[in-house]
Amino acid sequence: MEKFVSIERVGQTFETKKGKFVALREVDLNIRKGEFIALIGHSGCGKSTLLNLIAGLTRPTSGVLLCDGREIAGPGPERAVVFQNHSLLPWLTCFENIYLAVERVFSQKEGKPKLKARTQAAIELVGLAHAAQKYPHEISGGMKQRVGIARALSMEPKVLLMDEPFGALDALTRAKLQDELMKICEATQATTVMVTHDVDEAVLLADRIVMLTNGPAATIGEILTVNLPRPRNRLTLAHDPAYIECRAAVLEFLYEKQAHVEKAA
Amino acid sequence: MSATTMDGGFCPEKAVDREPAAAAPASSVNHEQAKEKTMEKTIAVNSGTPFSERLGAQLRTMLPPVLGLLIVLGIWHVATFKGGSIPGPAQVWQAAVALFSDPFYRNGPNDQGIGWNVLSSLQRVGIGFGLAALVGIPLGFILGRFAFLSAMINPLISLLRPVSPLAWLPIGLLVFKKADPAATWTIFICSIWPMIMNTAQGVQRVPQDYLNVARVLALSEWKVVTKILFPAVLPYMLTGIRLSIGTAWLVIVAAEMLTGGVGIGFWVWDEWNNLKVEHIIIAIFVIGIVGLILEQALILMAKKLTKESAGS
């Protein structure tokens, strides 16, 4: 298997007032180019910690992370992040928020008209051309999240990292955005890692589902390959035996093998 | 996980295809509906409340401050009715009318109209305050951004901040050899602390999310400052500026009393030497009113700027 992102024996320990807290230990994972990985697990299991490590926002205590053959030494636009709470700058319009990213990545090679065209293309990709000149507080949560995705995609990243991007949205908006995301990923062939706690989301979107054990000292418990043909349709999948089997496998992992955290919480 | 059934049931692919085109008219319709609603509301308010009622509401907000002023004037009048060293309101009023009939006369360097005095005080405050902003705001940014520098300089600031700015006046006189820059220097010193502290605090409180965006985009330090830090810190900075200008206006009166020359503080002292007590009382009112105007102007500016930076 061709490795594009590889995570090798990665551990993460945080210094807290109560002493050392081991968040992750011995995580090994290889991700192919163009693959869609879903990271799933109970809250506090270190999903976001792992994503931040791939993003380079934090450095691992032990082990190495590589992206395209190079060690991940810090954050960078080639690994774009869609944050859980959209993180748009409130003093910039949707257009300007995306433009900031486009400008950073492409301004050395391209002139202003080209940069603007790129920004416009990104905003059209998520179907928000009509809201380009609006400020984040003037649009709905789902629209904000779409701008966040547009911003990430506009940078043409090698890897798209998403931290529970649809967690704060209602079920209908979430479904709509999941469908859009599937199309976008198909069109751009982006390598994607998405943190989620939604089993259906994971099965619908992912090529492989990486299931983390409960923290502290979480690690990869199981990896499930989702062998469903693309494009996937949520309606037909609902009755697909393979889909149902995948769902059952993830649910079993979460609620039988890793159930005890529920009692603790 | 509760989304299972919802995901399965409600969102056929076709609906998604239609979505971008359909979204635009739908949202504008919503806007129009909302507009209509608000219009209905305003009409209802206009027709629903009779004129007398609105007048009454205005009266209720105006009444307490006017009453307060009248009571103070009354007490003042009664207290000074039988004569004494302090003039009554009527005397002060007459003196004020005479004084403000020619606020910009010039009879040599030590005898100028009250207008000139106020203006030269404002000028000193402006220069000292402006210099303090030029130094204090960037310094605040640096202290907020670099923990090491902040740890290095914060104890010094804590030590110097409680010192009365007037204690710095002799240093200013010594360094500048002249009264005027020494007074400006005093203003500079008293204005700079709130600006440094508030700016630094604002920088430290910039939400981590925004900084993470900056890190992922790998923005240059210049872009981080102009696109993220500056807009995020602006409200804090404006608070610092407002506090500074209040203190500066307090301090200028005292500083000018000590340095002399032209200025409202000096004028108060001069009139005390001339024993024109009614002029001192006028000066107190003038100082109060100018301070109030400065404060209100800055509040107004802050509102406008933060609105712009929040983008509404």
Of A104, A137, A155, the CB nearest to B312: A137
Task: Flag if B227 and A201 touch (Cβ within 8 Å).
Answer: no
| Residues of the domain holding A108 | 89-156
Residues A49 and A173 occupy one common structural domain:
yes
Q: How many CB pairs under 8 A join A and B?
A: 118
pLDDT string in tens for chain B (312-residue length): 443 344 433 434 333 343 344 344 444 444 444 444 444 444 444 555 677 777 788 888 888 889 999 999 999 989 888 877 888 888 888 888 888 888 888 887 777 888 888 999 999 999 999 999 999 999 999 999 888 999 999 999 999 988 888 899 999 999 998 888 999 999 999 999 999 999 999 999 998 889 999 999 888 888 888 889 889 999 899 999 999 998 999 999 999 988 877 889 999 998 898 888 889 999 999 999 999 999 999 888 888 887 765 544
Q: What is the pLDDT of residues A17-60, one digit of tens each?
A: 888 888 898 899 999 999 999 999 888 788 889 999 999 999 99
Classify residue B155: in a domain, yes or no: yes
Q: What is the pLDDT of residues A185-218, one digit of tens each?
A: 888 888 999 999 899 999 999 999 999 998 788 8
Classify residue A176: in a domain, yes or no: yes
In chain A, what residues touch B6 (CB-CB under 8 Å)? Answer: 171-172, 175
Residues A73 and A181 occupy one common structural domain:
yes
- pTM here is 0.71
The CA-atom distances, in angstroms, between B254 and each of B189, B204, B257, B265 are: 14, 35, 5, 6
Task: Flag if A130 and B219 touch (Cβ within 8 Å).
Answer: no
Task: Flag if A55 and B4 touch (Cβ within 8 Å).
Answer: no
Q: Give the chain B residue nearest A94 (alpha carbons).
A: B311
pLDDT of residue A260: 62
Task: Flag if A179 and B27 touch (Cβ within 8 Å).
Answer: no
Residues A185 and A141 occupy one common structural domain:
no
Distance in Å, alpha carbon of B6 to nearest chain A alpha carbon: 6
Q: What is the DSSP string of chain B?
A: -THHHHHHHH--HHHHHHHHHHHHHHHHHHHHHHHHHHHHHHHHHHHHS-HHHHHHHHHHHHHHHHHHHHHHHHHHHHHHTT--SS--HHHHHHHHHHHHHSTT-BSSTT-B-HHHHHHHHHHHHHHHHHHHHHHHHHHHHHHHH-HHHHHHHHHHHHHHTTS-GGGGHHHHHHHH-SHHHHHHHHHHHHHHHHHHHHHHHHHHTS-HHHHHHHHHHT--HHHIIIIIIHHHHHHHHHHHHHHHHHHHHHHHHHHHHHH-SSSHHHHHHHHHHTT-HHHHHHHHHHHHHHHHHHHHHHHHHHHHHHHHHHT-
Residues A183 and A61 occupy one common structural domain:
yes
Q: Give the chain B residue nearest A175 (alpha carbons).
A: B7
CATH number for A247 = 3.40.50.300
Task: Flag if B23 and A90 touch (Cβ within 8 Å).
Answer: no
Residues A191 and A213 occupy one common structural domain:
yes
Distance in Å, alpha carbon of A100 to nearest chain B alpha carbon: 9
Of A127, A180, A198, the CB nearest to B3: A198
Residues A148 and A174 occupy one common structural domain:
no
Classify residue B4: in a domain, yes or no: no
Residues B122 and B266 occupy one common structural domain:
yes
Q: Give the chain A residue nearest B12 (alpha carbons).
A: A235
pLDDT of residue B11: 39
In chain B, what residues touch A93 (CB-CB under 8 Å)? Answer: 311
**A127: confidence class by pLDDT, cuts 50, 70, 90:** confident
pLDDT of residue B308: 64
Residues B117 and B258 occupy one common structural domain:
yes
CATH number for B114 = 1.10.3720.10
Residues A142 and A171 occupy one common structural domain:
no
| Residues of the domain holding B32 | 14-70
Residues A255 and A227 occupy one common structural domain:
yes
Residues B192 and B110 occupy one common structural domain:
yes
Q: Which residues of B touch A (CB under 8 A)?
A: 1-4, 6-8, 10-13, 15-16, 19-20, 23-24, 27, 209-210, 212-213, 215-219, 223, 227-228, 231, 309-312
Q: Give the chain A residue nearest B224 (alpha carbons).
A: A100
Count of structural domains within chain A:
2
Residues A59 and A177 occupy one common structural domain:
yes
Residues B23 and B128 occupy one common structural domain:
no
The 3-state secondary structure of A179-240, one letter per residue = HHHHHHHHHHCCEEEEEECCHHHHHHHCCEEEEECCCCCECEEEEEECCCCCCCCHHHHCCC
Count of structural domains within chain B:
2
Classify residue A83: in a domain, yes or no: no
ipTM given for this complex = 0.82
pLDDT of residue B19: 38
Of B16, B19, B227, the CB nearest to A89: B227
Residues A101 and A165 occupy one common structural domain:
no
Of A87, A127, A199, the CB nearest to B212: A87
Pick among B7, B18, B27, B304 to test the A interface (most A CBs inside 10 A)? B7
Classify residue A84: in a domain, yes or no: no
